[in-house]
Structure 1
């Protein structure tokens, strides 16, 4: 049963986490292109697709820790330090994805879909008006700030680095009698 859980765990990681890491990494440059040319429908469609891939596969990604936990239970390694570290890093990676990456993708996508990026002065003025009247910032704030895509790229990089670290821990398994 251990091998069965392990196979499912690895397949789930490849099928679910792989597309998220690639699509999330492709999103910031795509957003820069779409914001630079608001009339480019293809760039906007690409962003929509990349965001959808991230959302859908993030949902499917819940299978990875669930199957990993089942595998660890069947192997009797739940108290091993490498596994505890992997579970903690997985939780942090999920938090980064859900709290920092996906919401910023949505903000940038909304800015692109609203046609933002055509005139930064107008956008800043519109943001100030929206903030003064509603007390909240509008999506045009995202488009008026060129660093929005840079921050998204940074958070995406952190997410990817966390997953790479988890992968290394899963392969090397420090302190394991079967580890490399």
Structure 2
């Protein structure tokens, strides 16, 4: 049962978290392009698509910690420091995504849909740069969780 839970947990992380990190990273430059060229329908559609990917896969991503907890319980490691740290980092990553990344994308998507771009992009650059920075923090949090899941300090598996 442990192997099944672990396999589902890892697959869910790859399938759910991977697309969010990639789409979220692609979003700020795509929004910048769409806001500078509001007549570019393809750029506008790209922004909408990337935001939709982030929203949908963020919801799908809930299965990652669910199966993570089930796996940890099965393995008897719920009290291990590396797991508690991973849980804390995952919580922070979820908060960054839900409170900063997705709302920032929503605001920029609305700006793109409202054709409120300017010709040189000066008015949109700070918002897209802030979003890029917050997205980078989100991605670094997931990278840290991934490393902890692989290295598992104090593990008896020899990893």
Aligned residues: 159
Q: Which runs of 5+ in 1 are unaligned?
A: 121-142
How far the C-alpha of 1:145 sits from its partner, in A, is 4.1
Where 1:144 maps in the other structure, the secondary structure is coil
- TM-superposition CA deviations, 1:107-159 (whole Å, max 9, x none): 00000110011368xxxxxxxxxxxxxxxxxxxxxx83420000000000000
CA distance in 1, matches of 2:152, 2:79: 13
- The alignment yields a C-alpha RMSD, in angstroms, of 1.5
8 Å Cα contact 1:173/1:179 also seen in 2: no
1:132 corresponds to: none
TM-score between both structures, scaled by the size of structure 1: 0.85
2:12 corresponds to: 12
TM-score between both structures, scaled by the size of structure 2: 0.96
2:149 corresponds to: 170
2:103 corresponds to: 103
2:31 corresponds to: 31
Runs of 4+ in 1 over 6 A off after TM superposition: none
Instruction: Specify whether residues 74 and 6 from structure 1 end up closer, same or farther in structure 2 by C-alpha distance, changes over 3 A only.
Output: same
Where 1:115 maps in the other structure, the secondary structure is coil
Q: For 1:43-62, what aligned pairs fall within 5 Å after superposition?
A: 43-62=43-62
Asked which structure has the greater RCO (Cα within 8 Å, sep 6+), the reply is 2
